[in-house]
Each structure stands twice: as structure tokens, then as C-alpha cells.
Structure 1
């Protein structure tokens, strides 16, 4: 497995950009990793690829606001 520090982490284009972003994500070979952007060394949630696609798809079908 690739070290977490070697992954390309990104924040949502909807993030404020003022340091208040809540989460950032990185793609791995088997899915997506999610972490608190203010605690890069903290815990990471791993989501399998199919579950991530379903999650993102549901957001696209039901946008907030």
C-alpha cells in the first residue's frame, strides 16, 4: 500500500479556502481515503470504490441548496 503522505490529497471545489475545510480525499488502488484536513496525521476513513461512486452519484442526483 502507498504511504498516506505519498497520495495526492484534494479538497472539494466547494470548500471555503480559508483554512476552514473539513475534509480532504485521496484516491487509492481500491477506493477513496478521507481525512480531516486540519489533522493530516489523524485517522483516515477508507471507502471502497463502489461505495464511493454510489455516494458521489447520490450527491449529483440530489444536490443540496
Structure 2
């Protein structure tokens, strides 16, 4: 799975705005993507293989 959390380059969506902390952050890596809660970064992240990440994005786009 992914590199250590410190090696991942997490980013917030520009839609979240600069003042809010109620969002998630996403980091891409060679085998997929990782997500974490902006307010609780210390709890770690969830990693998704590429196929699962693309399925999630595809399903979210249909909502």
C-alpha cells in the first residue's frame, strides 16, 4: 500500500474554502489514493487501490 503518511502529499479541495476545517484531504500515490479527516489527521488515513478509487469517483459523479 502507500508510503508513510509523511511521504504522502495530502491536499484539500478548493471547494472547501480557506476558512473551513470540515473536509477531507486526498493524496494520490502509485497504487491508488488515500483520504484523511482534516480535523483528525493524527488518526491516519484510509487507502484505496486505483480500481476502487475510480469506482468511488464514478459513483459520486452520478449522484
If the length of structure 1 is used for normalisation, what is the TM-score?
Answer: 0.74
Question: How much is the aligned-residue C-alpha RMSD, in angstroms?
Answer: 1.7
**Which 5+ residue runs of structure 1 have no aligned equivalent?**
none
Higher RCO structure (Cα 8 Å, ≥6 apart): 2
Q: What are the equivalent positions in structure 2 for 1:28-43 lying under 5 Å apart?
A: 28-43=29-44
Tell me the number of residue pairs that the alignment of Structure 1 and Structure 2 aligns.
62
4+ aligned runs moved over 6 Å, structure 1? none
If the length of structure 2 is used for normalisation, what is the TM-score?
Answer: 0.76
Partner of 2:58: 57
